[in-house]
Each structure stands twice: as structure tokens, then as C-alpha cells.
A and B are shown apart, each in its own frame.
Chain A
Amino acid sequence: MTHAPVIELDGVSVRKSNCALLDGIGLRVSRNEFVGIIGPNGAGKTTLLNVVAGFEKFDGRLRLFGRAESWKRTRATRMRVGYVPQSFEIDPSFPILAIEAVLTGVYGRTGLFRSPGEPERRRAVELMEMMRIAHLASRPLGHLSGGERQKVSLARAIIQRPEILLLDEPTSNLDIAVQMEVLNLIADLYERESMAVLYITHDFNLLPKCMRRAVFVNRGRIVFDGGIDRALTGPMLGGLFDCPLETFERNGRRFVSFG
């Protein structure tokens, strides 16, 4: 069944000091689609995510949920787009507990002059239980490990009940076991919640199984948009990253290594 597109970009460009970070990008993403955004460093992947998130000024047309949008967003639109950054550092002394950090995700939804109530707190605890970090709820966020903080960040975005989830290399800087755990959580959340997901990654050996579409970005342009099986081949990836790469299969999964 084909769903209506929730993200539509048409001729979207971002220029900084005469340099095109994005150059006439066109992209449509439907509800319930999980799309991998893949490309070398400086290709424009994060800029693309920032345009959709409303953090970046752009030329061209962007429609979210069928409505034309600029970089300035209404609160209602922002609440429908969740964002998970790369793992971030925080001062260990910073005065915020893990559960409070999760609850910041509902602040937009609760609106001004109102604090999150018991239902929001229950939902935060539920999400933290699902991510196996409920026992850390009353710990200062800065005392958590990088992986635990990334789970808090994921819970913070999900409590927002987004219809679009933007993930900017959410497993970078995490060890392999935690990467696997975060990846499984993302796949679980995708199955449970009805969301379109844009997922930036460099690591082809750790792709969620639910990612069935890949978009290759290079020099600010989309150079490939299609099924993950067609994307994950030695010649395709080697061409994108400009180095010899080959793929092989083991236990039904495809892996990438230097050719």
C-alpha cells in the first residue's frame, strides 16, 4: 500500500559563501518509510536533515505533511518532527536528571504555562523501561555513559510522538555492543510507531533490517535513490566513496569491506 508523502523536497538548495551544500535536491518520503541517507563526509547529509528539521535556511520547495514549509516552523509542525543528534557531551555537573531530559521532548506539546503531568511522566518511564534505562531515571544525565545518553536522546524524541524521525548518525562514538542495542531499539520503535524515518549513517555493516531504501548523497546532490539491495554493492559504494569496496553475505546479512 502506498502512503502519501510526508516529506517532499523539490529543487532544494543551501548555499554558504558561494559553496553549494545542497544543490537542487528532490526527494519524497512516505509515511512508514525507513530511508538511509548515505554519503561521504561533507556530502550534505546533515544539511539535508537540518532542512527537514527546520534548522537551516534553504531555497526551493519543501512540503511536510502536504503543507509548504520554510525554515521557520510553527510549534505544531516542529512537534511532528523528532530529531536525534549524534551522541553529545554534557558537563557531569549539569543540573538535569535523565528523566527530566526525556521529558523535555514533551515541553512543546504541553505548551506554555503548563508542566508535564502524570501521564507524560508515566510515558517517559515506559520508554525508559523499554530502553532498559528506567533504573537511571533519577541519575544526573552527565553521569550516564555515551550509550545510555543516546538512549535518553532517543526516548526524548519518541515521547514527542513524531510522525517524522530524523536520526543523525545516532550510533557514532558508541561501542559495537551498544551500537547493536541502539539499532535494535530504533527498529523496534519503527515497528511500533507509525513514522517516516531518515537515518544518516556511515556504517554499512550496522544497518537496521527495516531500512529498505537508500539515498546516496554526494557533493550536495542525490546520486542514487533506490532499494537497499541495489545500493549495497561494491561498485555502487566504491563509486560513492571513491575507493575500492566489496560486499559479501554471511548469515543472510550483507557486509562491506575494502576491496
Chain B
Amino acid sequence: MVEHFFEGLTYLPVQRALAACILCGLSCSLLSVFIVLMRLPLIGVSMSHAALAGAVIGTLVGFNPVACGFVLCLAVAGILGPVSDRSRMAPENMLGIFFSFLMGVAFLGMGILTRTKAGALSLMWGNLLSLSRRDLVLLSVITAVLLVFILLFFKEIRAVLFHRKLAASSGVPERAVYYTLLLLTGAVVSSNLSTVGGLLIFALLIQPGATALQLAYDLKIFFLVSAAAGIAACVAGLLISYVFDLPSGASVVLVATGIFALAYALSPKRLRRRPHSEEPAL
């Protein structure tokens, strides 16, 4: 059955799907480190709803829905940081407000829309086997930008993830780093909408980072574990979906959950704490 997959690799759509899986796994898992450590789990779902709202608006006014989704996603990422800083609201509360507002906009738009909603809705599900060359180029460029940003500003990212205020006090450009990470999240989510779709990308933005949190105390290893977990989930998910003829997005997410469950069960951090929890109650 696996041979069937390798045979399929001679076809362009399957080659593109595999490349997109690797890029999607890498980009989402790198961002997952930032999302898990800064406790911003709602960011993925907010961004994907921004993309949906943008796509619906695009369809309503007759523009390309994917391009409109991409632009609105970036716009939300761009204003999220400054707005939450200025309003002194916790970013996760601000994300909740953005998320519900954008969902309202998207649903309102779909209610008004008399034409087909397929163009907008396709962003929520994604389709690995119908990727265009342009989709793949966009995903490659954004993954490369993210990777270069992390490599160049690793120590600044570490300081910001540790404590934003302390990072600022020691002269680290923390706002620039934090806002750039938010913008890159918008870019990664919107460029991955065609692959796993807006609904399931949420899982890939959380699970690889949560997996690394079970295993690593060193931030460099944390990034590597997260990246490995993300890529493994995407490639294995694609393989399973191809071999067993299952939906690809769902397979990827279920494999990612399996990897997390394994890491949780074998976590040295959790196992080390166990002796204390087994102390007899007084």
C-alpha cells in the first residue's frame, strides 16, 4: 500500500502535496513554539477566521477571495499587537474579541452572498492535491523568511518569550520582535490555508509546540523537537490519507495528536515530578 504512495510521487500533484506538507509542518511548528510559550492558542483560529472574512468580502466585492483573505489576515496580525498593548488587555482576550468579530463578519458576508460560497469556504478545508505552483512558491518564501528571522534573532526571541518587560528593560527591541512574530503568524496561517485549511491549522499551531514542551528545556532543542513533530505529523498524515483514502487535513491533525500523546506519556518533565505527587497524603 505504501508502494502505491511512492508510485504516486511520480505525479506532480502528489509531489506538490508532499513539498507543501513539509513546508506547512515546518512553518507551523516553528511558530507553534512562540504560540505555546506565549500562551496565545487562539491566534491560529483568529487568523483563519480573518482569512475567511477576507475571502467572503473579496467574493462580495468581486476580488480574488484568496488574496483578500491573505491581506485581511496580515492586517489583523499587524494591528493585534499594538491594539492589545495600547488597550492594556491581555493578548488572549483581545484575540477572543478579534475572533468573534471576524466570525461575525464572515457569517454576515455569507448571509448576504447570493453567489456560490465555495471559493471562500475552500479556505477553511484546504486541499493538498489541488495546490498550484504559486501556492507552493508563496509557502516556500514565507517559510524561508520565518526560518531566517528565527536564526538571525534567536536570542532576542528567547528574551521576548521569557519576559517582554525584562527584554525591553535590557535594550532588546521587544516590540519589533513581538509584532514581527505576530505578522509572521498571519503570513504563515494565510499561506497554509490552501494546504490544511483554516480550521485544522489551529492544531498544527499548538500541537508541535505542546509536544516540545513535554521534552525540552533548551530553546534550541525545543525548536528542533517542535519542527520534527510538525513535519512528521504532516508527512505521516499525508501518507496515511493517500494509502487509506482518508481526508488529508484530518489525518495530519490526528497524527499530530498521537505524537503529542506519546510525548506526554514519555515526558521526562512529567515523570520527574511523579515522586513528589506520590508522597503519602498527610
B162 touches A85 (CB 8 A): no
The reply to whether A107 and B170 contact each other, CB–CB distance below 8 Å, is: yes
Q: Which residues of B contact A101 (CB under 8 A)?
A: 162
* Chain A interface size, under 10 / 10 to 19 / 20 to 34 / 35 or more: 35 or more
Which stretch, B57-65, B149-157, B233-241, touches the partner chain A?
Answer: B149-157
**Across the two chains, which residue of chain B brings its CB closest to A57?**
B86
Write the nearest CB–CB distance from A75 to chain B, whole angstroms. Answer: 4
A107 and B216 contact, Cβ closer than 8 Å, known pairs A78-B168, A85-B166: no
From B107-115, B189-197, B200-208, B217-225, the one touching the partner chain is: B217-225
Contact of B167 among A81, A104, A106 (CB under 8 A): A104
The answer, among A54, A95, A107, for a CB contact under 8 Å with B159, is: A107
From 47 to 101 in chain A, residues with beta carbon under 8 angstroms from any chain B beta carbon are 53-55, 75-76, 78-79, 81-83, 85, 88, 92-97, 100-101
Q: State in angstroms the CA–CA spacing of A104 and B177 once bound together.
A: 15
- Does A108 lie within 8 Å of B171, measured CB to CB? yes
A189 smallest CB distance to B (angstroms): 16
Given A95-B216, A97-B218, the answer on whether A54 and B168 have CB atoms closer than 8 Å is yes
Q: Which residues of B contact A100 (CB under 8 A)?
A: 158, 219
Cα–Cα, bound, A106→B169 (Å): 11
Q: Say which residue of B166, B173, B269 sits within 8 Å of A104 (CB atoms).
A: B166
Complex interface: stretch among A109-117, A124-132, A203-211, A249-257: A109-117
Given the contacts A85-B165, A93-B269, A112-B153, A78 and B218 also touching, CB distance less than 8 Å: no
Bound: A76/B170 CA distance, A = 9
Residues in A whose Cβ lies below 8 Å from that of B153: 112
Residues of B134-181 at the interface with A, using a CB-CB cut-off of 8 Å, are 152-153, 155-156, 158-159, 162-163, 165-173
A82 to B171, CA, bound (A): 10
Residue picked from B170, B173, B214, B269, most chain A C-beta under 10 Å: B170
User: Is there contact, CB below 8 Å, between B219 and A95?
Assistant: yes
B162 touches A96 (CB 8 A): yes
Of B171, B218, B269, B273, which one neighbours A107 at CB under 8 angstroms?
B171
The verdict on B66 contacting chain A, using a C-beta distance below 8 Å, is no
Contact flag A112-B156 (CB < 8 Å), given A95-B222, A97-B218: yes
Query: Is B213 an interface residue when CB atoms closer than 8 A count as contact?
Result: yes
Contact B170 A105 (CB under 8 A): yes
A156 within 8 Å of B (CB atoms): yes
A53 in contact with B169 given A104-B158, A113-B152 (CB within 8 Å): yes
Q: Does residue B37 face the partner (Cβ distance < 8 Å to A)?
A: yes
**Of B172, B218, B273, most A-chain CB atoms within 10 Å:** B172
Is A150 an interface residue when CB atoms closer than 8 A count as contact? no
B163→A88 contact, CB < 8 A? yes
State A83–B166 Cα separation when bound (angstroms). Answer: 7
- The reply to whether A108 and B172 contact each other, CB–CB distance below 8 Å, is yes
Q: Verify if A160 is at the interface (C-beta below 8 Å from B).
A: yes
Given contacts A88-B163, A95-B222, A113-B152, contact A104 B213 (CB under 8 A): no
Interface membership of A140, Cβ < 8 A: yes
Q: Which A-chain residue is minimally distant from B169 (CB atoms)?
A: A83
Q: Which residue of A lies closest to B88 (CB)?
A: A16
A107-B217 Cα distance, complex, nearest whole Å:
20
Quote the shortest CB–CB distance from A174 to chain B (angstroms): 18
Can you list 25 A-B contacts with CB-CB less than 8 angstroms, sorted by A residue number?
A54-B168, A55-B165, A78-B169, A78-B170, A82-B170, A83-B169, A85-B165, A92-B269, A93-B214, A94-B162, A95-B37, A95-B222, A96-B158, A96-B162, A96-B217, A100-B158, A104-B167, A105-B170, A107-B155, A107-B159, A107-B171, A108-B170, A112-B152, A116-B155, A153-B166
Question: Lowest 5 CB-CB distances: which A-B pairs, in order?
Answer: A108-B171, A83-B169, A78-B171, A75-B171, A79-B171
The chain B residues found within 8 Å of chain A, CB to CB, are 37, 152-153, 155-156, 158-159, 162-163, 165-173, 212-214, 216-219, 221-222, 269, 273
